[in-house]
């Protein structure tokens, strides 16, 4: 009887699959509820986060049928509301 072994998937840069990458921070995989995000990171209510997510105005996850946010989503939402000075705008 023979057994096959699988090679780790590699990306174009030659790194192995991120799920086996020891450099990946596990905190990046945690899903936070709208209540947790509103209480800790963003100046929105949980209701507003749900409404914006349902309207597909902000990035989010819907794993298990519930709206949740990963750190990448929270960073992207925060960046969406940044205002740059007029001196940085191109004419």
Q: Percent of the chain, pLDDT > 70?
A: 75
Q: Percent of the chain, pLDDT > 90?
A: 59
Domain parsing of the chain, residue ranges: 26-82
What's the predicted TM-score (pTM) here? 0.69
6-15 long-range CB contacts below 8 Å, 24 or more apart? none
What parts of the chain have a pLDDT lower than 50? 8-11, 14-16
> Which candidate, 66, 68, 72, 65, places its Cα nearest to that of 38?
68
Looking at residue 12, its pLDDT comes to: 53
């Amino acid at each position: 009887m023979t057994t096959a072994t699988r090679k780790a998937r590699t990306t174009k840069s030659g790194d192995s699959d991120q799920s086996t990458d020891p450099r990946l921070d596990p905190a990046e995989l945690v899903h936070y509820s709208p209540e947790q995000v509103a209480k800790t990171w963003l100046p929105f209510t949980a209701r507003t986060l749900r409404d914006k997510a349902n309207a597909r105005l902000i990035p989010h996850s819907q794993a298990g049928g519930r709206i949740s946010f990963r750190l990448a989503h929270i960073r992207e939402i925060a960046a969406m509301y940044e205002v740059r000075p007029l001196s940085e705008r191109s004419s």
